[in-house]
Amino acid sequence: MRIAVEGCMHGDLDTVYKTLQYAEKKHGFKIDLLLCCGDFQAVRNEEDLESLNVPRKYRSMNSFWKYYSGEELAPYPTIFIGGNHEASNYLWELYYGGWAAPNIYFLGFAGVVKFGNIRIGGLSGIYNSRNYYLGHHERPPYNESTIRSVYHVREYDVQKLMQVEEPIDIFLSHDWPLGITDYGKWEELVRRKPYFKKEIQERTLGSAAAAQLLEKLKPPYWFSAHLHCKFAALVQHGEGGPLTKFLALDKCLPGRPFLQILELESEPGPYEIRYDEEWLAITRRLNSIFPLTRKRANFGTVDLLKEDCHQWVGSRLQERGANPFEFVRTVPCYNPSQSGSSGSFSGYPRNPQTESFLQFLELPYLLDNMSEPKDLSYSPASLLQSGSFDDNSEAIPIDDVDELEELAEEVDDEETMFSNKKKESEISRVYNYLLSTSTPRKARTLMERRPVVFSVLLFIVVLHSVAASPSSSSSSANLSFNFYAASCPSAEFMVRNTVRSASSVDPTIPGKLLRLLFHDCFVEGCDASVLLQGNGTEQSDPANRSLGGFSVIDSAKRVLEIFCPGTVSCADIVALAARDAVEMAGGPAIQIPTGRRDGMVSAASNVRSNIVDTSFSVDEMIKLFSSKGMSLNDLVTLSGAHTIGTAHCSAFSDRFQKDSKGKLTLIDTSLNSTYADELIKQCPADSSPSVLVNNDPDTSFMFDNQYYRNLLSHRGLFQSDSVLFNDERTRKQVEDFANDQVGFFESWGQSFFKLTITGVKTGDEGEIRRSCSATNM
């Protein structure tokens, strides 16, 4: 039996099939089966494109629709798994697997089938620790959050595959098993893909779930894709144990290694795709705990070793046969001769294949169950409570290589556009539009669609106002909006993507990045001096040892050095990352100027006298803020940063004392006694120094005005928080912000802007560091 394996399809079925037909003709052999390792893009019509998580400009029908409509027939039986660029609404119809088109079979979110006597298993999607333990709560139509999470691998599907005991011959996963690079020539891989190096060294490159399955199933062959490169490895399972030949393949492009043909010993053909008895038994046994909300599946309620289920399925297959149920079209197909939608249909239909499959196994149809509202906002707090991510993790996995490659293309495209003088008339037209824009939403849409044009125009509009501001220092006046419009047009986009990726893994990241900015700007000015490592640097002061978010800045810097080497300062990355972190946590979207240079000095001795201590009085804070050119309004506004983030117990220990029995008692009468009791439970007298408490006990990962409402109810975590409500000079503003989130957000934009231009270095001052942790000297 000859089997062809393809990496990422990206909807280009025509090219792959023609390539295989050419290979058959050239070498004189017959290919029996095609396997695809994800990003198949089974897009049937324009509606499906809305469920495809790729930038809108990259969405295209490609060629799958021809095979769905019957215009073309796949020349080879084709089996595929899902990746992270899929028509997720269609694949959800076929959650258990089924024909996506005649002769094209989807293996399901997890599945095992037989082809002749060869057993083929697979796991769709990519691994993300944030969503791994959640149930399948997403339903079409997807919102901005669920369209990104629907393809994340879930524990339920992995555990189904972990029940497989009979040998698997071939296994497919979209992303690579974690640690697989240990078994191949990873040095060569890093030479081709240098941004993989850190993830390999930190053991974050790949899927932990796939690694678990590799250890359990030990198949002779394992194929993956996702990272758009070819990589081979040989895994020895224990001394003298079985071998797994691993191969990752590229995406379908000319000159790229996207195909591999192998020959396996098998029984004589003809071969057909058939249901697998053991897998059907596992599916039937575990369907009762199918998690359809965010709640984790409860595996303790089922008997995983029940044998009669296997026998029952076997008898059913003998009666009916093992061929999958027939393909049925469920929606109108794309018609290239028509503009717009190819037909009207309402809702998201049940797929008759899935209905027949479940009836065969005598199982209920659950896929359209919806016990939670479709537009329910994604709650990082709920993930923290369910333990679905590592609290202390700041690792940023390579989640989407497609985005990195598209980013490179965007850089090239925008640099060309920027340098094209023929665009002057268009710039003039859009400039007039910008001046007439009456809402931030319109301006934001323009910024997203034409970022370089927007940046140039915005620079023209604000240049004079920034330079003419009497409060602007000569250094801050040298900053400009979108400073990198010509030298690195996508700089802010790259930082934003890094922050978004990190925050999706660890929702404490926004708080860490915001605190990092404060501790940087208040000491030597916003010059990234806090990032420098070494004896006697700012990081070595005890007040800075609990800072986090450094790996996010380092990751953004690595990507920027790939596309724009020696161009973007670490100081700008810190400021942009904090800005984006606030927005991603639910705060306001604001613009800040760039052009900061990195400082050369970082001294621990400068830290304590330049940062707010949690025991400060209002007078002490006013004195410090005033020295930085900030007002009383800025003090109250920027204190609102405590609406997100965490703190160590020692940061508020001065509000308690030990009694004769060694237990903590409240001594600060300005603190709500009920809240104090909660804090004592979280931070008892003998608690570990590593214990963390949320700054805001109610909406700890949402940037909102809850901080001020907490102050009104005497639930400010720090003494420096509580004094803002107790002091007549600041009480009114606290009350106003507690009752008006819009007013707080408006004030935040102004005060945050002032914070980010504090003591900046520009022009010939400082340098552009190659690495954020060390100066260039």
Residue 152 is given by DSSP the state B
The answer to whether 41 and 62 have CB atoms below 8 angstroms apart is: yes
Counting DSSP H helices and E strands in the chain, the numbers are 29, 19
Q: Where are the alpha helices (DSSP H) in 28-162?
A: 46-49, 64-69, 88-93, 146-149, 155-162
Specify burial of residue 672 (Cβ count, 10 A radius: 0-12, 13-18, 19+).
middle
Phi first, then psi: what are they for 744, rounded to 5°? -60, -45
* Total number of residues shown for the chain: 777
Q: Do 607 and 523 contact (CB within 8 A), yes or no?
A: yes
Annotated active-site residue in 2, 285, 294, 642: 642
CA separation for the pair 86, 544 (Å, rounded): 44
Clarify whether 449 is annotated catalytic.
no
Report d(CA 267, CA 118) in Å as an integer: 9
* Proportion of the chain in helix, strand, coil states, percent, rounded to 5: 45, 10, 45
Sign of CA dihedral 352, 356, 358, 363: positive
Among candidate residues 737, 742, 701, the one with its CA nearest the CA of residue 721: 737
Annotated catalytic residue, options 519, 596, 655, 715: 519
Q: At what angle do helices 451-468 and 440-449 cross, to 10 degrees?
A: 130
d(CA 506, CA 738): 28
Q: Is 595 left (phi over 0), alpha (psi -120 to 50) or beta?
A: left
Q: CA torsion angle for 20, 24, 29, 34 (degrees, to 10)? A: 10
As given in the structure block, the two tokens for residue 707 are 């901080």
515 is catalytic: yes
Distance of CA 165 to the CA centre of its chain: 33
**Hey, is 306 helix, strand or coil?**
coil
SS (H, E, C) 506-558: CCCHHHHHHHHHHHHHCCCCCCCHHHCCCCCCHHHCHHHCCCCCHHHHHHHHH
* Residue 353 to residue 476: CA distance in whole angstroms: 64
**Whether 228 is catalytic:** no
C-alpha–C-alpha distance, residues 331 and 49, integer Å: 13
How many Å is the Cα radius of gyration of the chain? 29
Cα-based angle 356, 309, 284 (whole degrees, multiple of 5): 40
Q: Six-digit token pair at 565?
A: 């080497």
Q: How far apart are CA 571 and CA 289, in angstroms?
A: 49
The 10 Å CB-count burial string (b at 16+, else e) for 749-767 is bebbebbbbbbbbbeebbb
Instruction: Of 106, 135, 137, give the one whose Cα is nearest residue 122.
Output: 106
Query: What's the token pair of residue 175?
Result: 């992303």
Q: Which of 45, 53, 84, 544 is catalytic?
A: 544
Please give the full DSSP string across 434-453, using - where no structure is assigned: HHH--SHHHHHHHHHHSHHH
Cα(77)–Cα(212) distance, rounded to whole angstroms? Answer: 29
In angstroms, the CA 75 to CA 243 distance is 32
Which residue in the list 515, 597, 709, 715 is annotated as catalytic?
Answer: 515
Which of 370, 281, 348 is closest to 90 using CA atoms?
348
| Known catalytic membership, residue 174 | no
Residues with Cβ within 8 Å of 132's Cβ and at least 6 positions away in sequence, in order, are: 152, 153, 154, 155, 209, 388
Residues with a catalytic annotation lie at: 515, 519, 544, 642
